[in-house]
């Protein structure tokens, strides 16, 4: 399975738009930092045609400790999630 990295994204900016490597790395880093900062504030980030980054709240629940088989209370928590936009879903099919 192939993957794309921040470095790959920056290299695309260099080749397509003539940014310097330093500028391209700063642009890519800024985008991800901004998305992460907004999620930390609980704000959803919608990128048109790509998808929406949101914060999901997991409810408090009862779990089982696998070592002792004892029931334990698992506190509610928040986690980042991604919902792909329709065009992205269709392009993957």
Write out pLDDT tens, residues 18-27. Answer: 999 999 999 9
Q: What are 82's strand-pairing partners?
A: 53
CATH no., domain 44-93: 4.10.520.10
Domain 1-43 falls under CATH 4.10.520.10: yes
Would you kindly state where each structural domain of the chain is located, as residue ranges?
1-43, 44-93
Q: Give the alpha-carbon dihedral of 88, 8, 44, 56, to 10 degrees.
A: 80
What average pLDDT does the chain have?
A: 95
Does the model's pTM come out above 0.85?
Answer: no
Interaxial angle between packed helices 21-40 and 6-17, expressed in degrees from 0 to 180 and rounded to the nearest 10: 130
Q: What is the pLDDT of residue 93?
A: 87
Q: Say if residue 1's pLDDT is above 90.
A: no
Q: What is the pLDDT of residue 43?
A: 95
């Amino acid at each position: 399975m192939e993957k794309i990295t921040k470095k790959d994204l920056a290299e695309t900016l260099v080749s397509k738009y003539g940014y310097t490597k330093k500028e391209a790395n700063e642009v890519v880093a800024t985008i991800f930092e901004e998305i992460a900062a907004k999620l930390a504030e609980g704000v959803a980030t919608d990128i048109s045609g790509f998808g929406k980054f949101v914060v999901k709240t997991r409810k408090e629940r009862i779990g089982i400790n696998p070592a002792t088989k004892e029931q334990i209370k698992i506190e509610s928590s928040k986690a980042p999630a991604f919902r792909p936009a329709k065009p992205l879903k269709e392009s993957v099919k």
